[in-house]
Amino acid sequence: MHTDTLAIRPLEGCGALVEGIDAARATDAEIDAVRAAVYDRGVAFLHGAVLTPEAQIAFAKRIGPIVVNRYFPKTERYPEIAKVEKAEAQTTNIGGGWHTDHSYDTCPAMGSVLMAVVTPPTGGDTLFANMYAAYDALSDEMKAKIAPLKAHHASAHVFGEASVYAQTDRADLAGHKDTPEAIHPVVITHPGSGKKALYVNPSFTTGIVGMAPDEGRALLMELYAHAMQPRFHTRFSWAPGSIAIWDNRATWHFAMNDYQGHYRLMHRITLDGGPLS
Ligand code: SIN
């Protein structure tokens, strides 16, 4: 899409680059175009100056209603903004594996508005995977097989007391006792775009309802290997002020952990979602 100043350029694999917009002063038409790009391409990327917390909150609210994340440390004065932070001495990052945020919730968050505040000298990119494209490229036989299936999603193994994070230098993440589980269809229809998307992910999906664990795991591994093909992916390189607005119903993401010894700080606002079908 092009207007006098706004240009939305679909990227190979996943996402769209939005140019000619000032997130702090966007018109209603520009916000609507950004939201449409997020729904259609799974993630929209913007480059600009670092927004104040008030401006980031105001921008995010225009995309969708905000919900407070239960696990990440909050910024001192703004509970709506979570800090996705890695200190020089920490070795484990947040989100360093393919995942879809909040799939363990009955009504998963719609998405996130993530802004880079401090970036490392090199590295710290985020990969995004297009779950519409991954679904579309499945064989007709696989589409028929997974159409009626539901999957189980959990959070305790990632955020709970004996979890992956709790056993590393990310024990600072909160909510160790607040570890929801949910069941969702393996294939969902995106409420905004009407397109079908694959809705299982390697971090939080723990099995297929009604299948023996081994059989469910084998099916999930086949779907993951398919979706991990680079043809469905985009790699986003951040500078301070860069923003990614992603849709959890249409993407996976993966924060690269390739900047050991350097500081990285992102401000993340989570957008509320609804039930999936
Ligand atoms: C996340 O998974 O929310 C973190 C993404 C990032 O830090 O790039």
**Model confidence at 3, in pLDDT bands (50, 70, 90)?**
low
- Residue bearing the CA closest to ligand 1, atom 4: 95
Atom of ligand 1 nearest to the CA of 268: 3
Q: How far is the CA of 258 from the centre of ligand 1 (A)?
A: 13
**Does position 1 have pLDDT exceeding 60, yes or no?**
no
Query: What number is the average pLDDT over the span 146-164?
Result: 93
pLDDT at 107 over 60: yes
Nearest CA to ligand 1 atom 8: 255
Mean pLDDT of 94-102: 96
Q: Does the domain made of 7-271 have the CATH classification 3.60.130.10?
A: yes
Ligand 1 centroid vs 255 CA: distance in angstroms? Answer: 5
Q: 63: how many CB neighbours lie within 10 A of its CB? A: 22
Residue 126 Cβ contacting ligand 1 at under 6 Å = yes
Mind telling me the catalytic residues? 99, 101, 253, 268
How does residue 2 score in pLDDT terms, banded at 50, 70 and 90? low
Residues 6+ apart with CB under 8 A from 40: 16, 193, 195
Q: Compute, in angstroms, the gap from residue 214 CA to the centroid of ligand 1.
A: 30
Every domain of the chain and the residues it spans = 7-271
Phi first, then psi, for residue 99 (nearest 5°) are: -160, 165
Given pLDDT bands bounded at 50, 70 and 90, which one contains residue 212?
very high
Cβ(111) – ligand 1 distance below 6 Å: no
Distance CA 161, CA 172 (A): 11
Q: Of the candidates 8, 272, 270, which has an alpha carbon nearest to the alpha carbon of residue 113?
A: 270
Contacts of 106 (CB under 8 A, 6+ apart): 180, 182, 275
Residue 73 has pLDDT above 90, yes or no: no
Residue 118 has a pLDDT of 98
Phi, psi of 51 (to 5 degrees): -85, 145
Mean pLDDT confidence for 144-160: 95
Mean pLDDT of 219-224: 98
